[in-house]
Amino acid sequence: MKTKQKIDKINKNLFIIVSTVLLLIFLIGIASAEDSGASYCCEKTLSGAWCQNQPIEQCDSNFKTVPSSCDSTSYCKRGCCFDSQEGLCMENTPQRICEASNATWADSPECNIIQCQQGCCILGNQGAFVTLTRCKQLSGFYGLTTDFRSGIQNEVTCISTAQGKDTGACVMDNGRGGKTCKFELREKCTTAGSTDNNINISGNQTGGASLGFYKDILCTAPELGTECGKTKNTVIIEGKDEVYYTDTCNNRANIYDSSRYDDPQYWRNVYKKSESCGAGSSNAGSKTCGNCDYFLGSIGKKYSGILNKPEQGDYICVSLSCANGKKHGESWCVSDSPTGEGQDTVGSRYYKQICLNNEIITEPCADYRGQICIENSISGFSEAACRTNRWGDCTQQKQKSDCENINQRECLWIENYYLSSSGQVTKSTNDSNNDGNQDDPTPDGLCVPNYPPGFQFWGSSSSSAVSSGNATTPGFGSSTPSFGSGYINPSTGTTSAASSCSIGNSAITIKWEKTKHPLVPGFLEGILGTKNEEEPQCTQNCQYLTEEDKNNENISQATVEKWAQEMNGICYKLGDCGGYINWVGTYTDGGYAAYFNNRRLAGSGGAQILEATTTSNSNTGNATTPTFTNPTSTGFMIKDWINNIIK
Amino acid sequence: MKNRILNKRAQLTIFIIIALLIVAVLLIIFLPNLMQRFGPKTTEQIIAGDCLEKNVRLALNETLMHGGTIKPELYFRYNNFSIDYLCYTAEWYKTCVMQKPLLKQQIETEVKKAIATSVGKCVQDTIDNLKNGGYEVVVTGTKAPNLEINPNNKIKISIDLELKLIRGEEKIIPSSSFTREFSSNIYEMIMVASSIQNYEARYGDASIETYMTYYPELRVEKYRQDDGTKVYIVTDKASGQKLQFATRSLAWPPGYAIN
């Protein structure tokens, strides 16, 4: 009895514990959803997008809304949408959308399901790497029997398999007591009376061959005894790159090669592309050879020029290269500004250009220099790509080696400046040399983006996704990665230029001290008193001053201008900050203002002298009263010299 | 002298006869075509050509320029076109969620919807004209058009309508007469767009040169926009037909990100 009570008690406690844990999980889930402000799964948003993780105010109240990620819901879980009609598999499709389209949904976002397994679909002498359903559909449309080979697992093998199908001469009765011939695929050769579709002919036989299919033999082979003879005519064939000879029966023969026109073997046997003239090169513009190669930059086309007329026929290999000398398939980078080293201009952008089929296609990389274009060349063939500009954590790097680690980021190390612990760009003193010592908190340089990013400094995006004319607000998931020491405005999803540029803010206080020395140091100091005041000396941030300033006990306008220019040089490397040229080459200094004696310095930008902070300390540690009264002539503080004035 | 004149007249007569014969032969050869082009149109020609093909071509063009939906709900404004998002995420750093998984069916449905009224009206006007011409017209079937975008580069439009015309004698125009098929590379363009959708959904981007290399007859352009949207334009080089659509996937925000 006692044991039973104990068990009951344990069960009761266990129930309470489990219930409490579950309740806590539920409450934490709700709380975190509310905290992030973006973790509601909207079945449909007000802007019309299906299944988005958005703040609740963005959700359409006529549809479902759950305070969790869409992947945790039944209706918006991403999976594979299989179109049984076309045999297509669409990835990352929410169940709700897929089923509304009368397609089949499966719980596999990357479509790793049996219906979506691809194989090689042979369509005549062409191959398509598709699903079985799609193969059936395509075969049906082209009036072919379905030939699906699931064992072939890549597109290249599929195409070569299809192209490697047996072709040859199909000898037929011409109805006039003679023989005619068609050069075609083995399975298409259905010659009446032909029982053996693969008859080998002996070299000495002339005209005695029976009806049927002759693999790799041309219709002009004398052994076949057909009415088809050789001609100097050439032709191009759909789906093929090369120029081919034709025979008198309009069959294609071997690749056009005027040097072998009189070679009987060239009109008897099929020669592979690799065995034909000029194999391995494009043969663009060749008068004698029609072995064009699309991937090497040429294709057979009708001749329409004056120079390089083909010796035989009307077709020639034309070059697919572009007017600028780039080869077919080459890509390269262009930009409308100097690039890298922090020199990218305001509004500039990277572009990738591609030469394809005599045409140059321009692909802009992401705006705001969110992407840069990278280019490499192998054996003179250049290839380019737009790649994410990884500048986000540059300002956080304290070591030169980390800053310049191109595997991690695109940053630039600037010597003699560093980001102080208070987040201000500060000039290193001459004696500061920590040599990358990690224990020394003072870095020996400043890490800035190598390709400064652009900012929307003119306000909100002019072309965001809209619904019925209203701008939508891109949302934030709770798992949004973080970068850098700047910030992005969560309510607009964009960065305030002024705030981003404020990373470069600097408040520098230069201190001048007048020191009183004892007449006699030591125990007599208190009796004999101190000397008269000596010359004031700069004791803090003196690195900003010239020797002349120090001697003159003053800060000149030239010093302020120089400082401002130096700081501006760092500022525009952080992004579209400060004064700099834009992509059309116009310089503007409206991004900052510099004042000296309450007068704005023309053009050079820089610093605003806000207040005097003169202090005077004795070397004994006792504070003395300031002796300088004219603030602008004794000390200055450079503060927020670029911020809040950015246009 | 007289013989010579007679000979000349005889020659002239022969030439005239030969010329008349040539004209007659040419007329026999080309008359059907000329009649077809310049003569009055038959009911079949009016319904299949004017009612179906013309309307389909217009609606198809309009649909393709807007990404598969003539009036999209979620769109990106580009060059004065509201372009539908086929794959979209509102978030940064995330791959997109498929919005239009069955693009071909979507386009077919949209075009059918767009032409339903105009085709219905066109067919009704033709029937009214026949009635005004003294025919008794018996209509069976529906005026709703069917559209198929097929892989063999053909677009087939049809209307399941049978007309029985009675004026003295009875003439039946079967529904098979109201079918048109015309060549277009649209199927290939849609398949390229679907493939791009899949790449965007899985990897956040798609390489346009791959498509252009494998489909030399198509031009594929990609324009990245400042909010992370990408506008793709697939153009059939021969016909100039365009399919434009938008995606937003793996978008990166401008500026520094939050810690």
Task: Map residue A213 onto helix, strand or coil.
Answer: strand
Distance CA B161, CA B226 (A): 50
- Considering only the beta carbons, identify the residue of A386, A461, A483 that sits closest to B227: A461
| Pair (A336, A234) in one structural domain | no
The 3-class SS string of A164-199 reads CCCEEEEEEECCCCCEEEEEEEHHHCCCCCCCCCCC
Same domain, A348 and A208: no
Tell me the C-alpha to C-alpha distance, in Å, between residue A148 and each of A138, B192, B199. 11, 22, 24
The string of pLDDT tens digits covering residues A261-296 is 999 999 999 999 999 999 999 999 999 999 999 988
Query: Measured between beta carbons, which residues in chain B are less than 8 angstroms from residue A295?
Result: 213
Over residues B30-46, the mean pLDDT reads 68
Chain A, nearest residue to B259 by Cα? A482
**A47·B74 Cβ contact <8 A:** yes
Beta-carbon pairs below 8 A across chains A and B: 226
Cα distance between residue B115 and residue B128, in whole Å: 20
Minimum-distance CB partner of B90 among A76, A86, A472: A472
Is there a contact between B183 and B153 (Cβ–Cβ < 8 Å)? yes
Is residue A311 included in any domain, yes or no? yes
What residues pair up with A81 in beta bridges, in sequence order? A90, A105
Q: Which of A91, A363, A466 sits opposite B75 (nearest CB)?
A: A466
Does the distance separating the beta carbons of B105 and A85 come in below 8 Å? yes
Domain match, B91 and B193 both: yes
Residue A177 within any structural domain of the chain: yes
Contact call for residues A125 and A167 (beta carbons, < 8 A): yes
> Tokens 């250049």 correspond to what residue?
A382
The amino acid at residue A595 is Y
Q: Is A213 domain-assigned?
A: yes
Please report, rounded to a whole number, the percentage of residues in chain B having pLDDT higher than 70.
92
Residue span of the structural domain in which B244 resides: 68-102+186-248
Joined together, the tokens standing for residue A553 give: 């006990």
Chain A residues touching residue B75 (CB < 8 angstroms): 465-467
Of B160, B132, B151, B130, residue with least CA distance to B52: B160
The alpha carbons of chain A give a radius of gyration, in whole angstroms, of 40
- Residue B159: which of B50, B16, B20, B1 has the closest Cα? B50
Residues B115 and B230 in one domain: no
> Which residue, chain included where needed, has tokens 């009635």?
B131
Q: Are the CB atoms for B56 and A439 separated by under 8 Å?
A: no
Q: How far is CA A122 from CA A134, A159, A166, B102, B152, in A?
A: 12, 8, 13, 25, 15
Residue in A400, A408, A504, A501 with CA at minimum distance from that of residue A443: A400
Angstroms from B160 CA to nearest CA on chain A: 22
Contact: B255, A575; criterion CB under 8 Å:
yes
Q: What pLDDT is stored for residue A141 in this prediction?
A: 84
A85 close to B (CB below 8 A): yes
Indicate the helix (H) or strand (E) that contains B85: strand B81-88
Nearest to A91 among B85, B198, B256 (CB): B198
Check whether residue B177 and residue B236 sit in a common domain.
no
Residue B81 falls inside a structural domain: yes
Which residues have CB under 8 Å from A627's CB, separation 6+? A514, A533, A536, A614, A616
Same domain, B119 and B135: yes
d(CA A575, CA A195) in angstroms, rounded, equals 78
- Same domain, residue pair B75 and B149: no
Q: Kindly write down the DSSP assignment for every residue of A488-503, as one continuous string.
A: -BTTTTB--HHHHHGG
The reported pLDDT for the residue numbered B192 is 96
Q: Do A124 and A241 share a domain, yes or no?
A: no
- Regarding whether B116 and B47 lie in a shared domain, the answer is yes
Is B23 within the bounds of a domain?
no
Distance CA A269, CA A288 (A): 20
Q: What are phi and psi of A625, to 5 degrees?
A: -80, 150
B14 lies in a domain?
Answer: no
Domain count, chain B: 2
Residues of chain A numbered 23-42 and touching chain B (CB < 8 Å): 38
| Parallel, antiparallel or unpaired: strands A470-471 and A40-44 | unpaired
Provide the pLDDT for residue A372: 94
Q: Are residues B127 and B153 in the same domain?
A: yes
Residue B29 inside a domain? The answer is no
Q: Is residue B224 part of a domain?
A: yes
Q: Give the mean pLDDT per block of 10 residues along chain A (647 residues).
A: 57 62 50 54 94 93 93 92 92 93 92 93 87 91 88 86 84 86 85 51 56 89 91 91 94 95 94 93 93 92 84 93 92 92 92 93 91 93 93 87 92 87 74 44 81 77 33 28 33 55 71 69 62 69 79 78 83 87 85 69 46 32 26 28 28
**Of A538-547, A607-616, B42-51, B146-155, which one has max mean pLDDT?**
B146-155
| Residues paired with A82 in a beta bridge | A89, A104
pLDDT tens digits, B156-200: 999 888 888 888 888 888 877 888 899 999 999 999 999 999 999
Residues with Cβ < 8 Å from A145, sequence gap 6 or more? A139
> What pLDDT was estimated at residue B129?
84
Quote the domain boundaries for residue A124.
Answer: 117-161
On whether both B201 and B169 belong to a single domain, the answer is no
pLDDT band at B224 (very low <50, low <70, confident <90, very high): very high
Binary contact (A493, B197; C-beta < 8 A): no
Query: Nearest chain A Cα to B195, which residue?
Result: A90
Specify whether B86 is located in the same domain as B172: no
Whether residues A384 and A509 fall in one domain: no
Single-letter amino acid code for the residue at A348: S
Which DSSP string do the residues of A343-382 spell out, in sequence order?
Answer: -PPBT--EEEEEEETTEEEEEEPPTTTTEEEEEEEETTEE
Q: Are residues A541 and A630 in the same domain?
A: yes
Angle between helices B55-65 and B186-203 (to 10 degrees): 20
**Residues of B whose CB is below 8 A from A110:** 202
Cα diameter, chain B: 116
Note the ipTM here: 0.82
Does residue B10 fall inside a structural domain?
no
**Do residues A619 and A632 share a domain?**
yes
- Read off the tokens for A236: 């191009």
If one counts the domains in chain A, the total is: 4
Name residues whose C-beta falls within 8 Å of residue B26's C-beta, 6 or more positions apart in sequence: none
Nearest chain A CA: its distance from B74 CA (Å): 5
| H or E element in which residue B38 lies | helix B2-38
| B150 and B84 in a common domain | no
Euclidean distance between CA atoms A253 and A548, whole angstroms: 90
User: What are the chain B neighbours of A356 within 8 Å (beta carbons)?
Assistant: 209, 212-213, 216
Closest CA relative to residue A570, chosen from A341, A339, A393: A341
Q: Looking at beta carbons, which residues of chain A come within 8 Å of B150?
A: 141
In a domain, A296, yes or no: yes
pLDDT at A435: 41
Q: Predicted confidence band at B9 (pLDDT cuts at 50, 70, 90)? A: confident
Beta strand pairing call for A359-364 and A350-356? antiparallel
Is A395 contained in some domain?
Answer: no
Cross-chain residue pair B151–A137, CB shorter than 8 Å = yes
Measured in angstroms, the CA of A181 and the nearest CA of chain B are apart by 28
Q: Are A343 and A448 in contact (CB under 8 A)?
A: no
How close, in Å, is residue B256 to chain A by CA atoms?
A: 5
Distance from CA of B167 to the nearest CA of A (A): 41
Partner B, chain A 342-401, Cβ-Cβ below 8 Å: 354, 356-357, 359, 361, 363-368, 370-371, 386, 388, 392
d(CA A546, CA A528): 37
Final residue in a domain of this structure, among B155, B183, B211: B183
Of A621, A615, A638, nearest to A561 by C-alpha is A638
Listed in sequence order, the residues at least 6 apart from B42 whose beta carbon sits closer than 8 Å to its beta carbon are: none
- CB A465 to CB B202 under 8 A? no
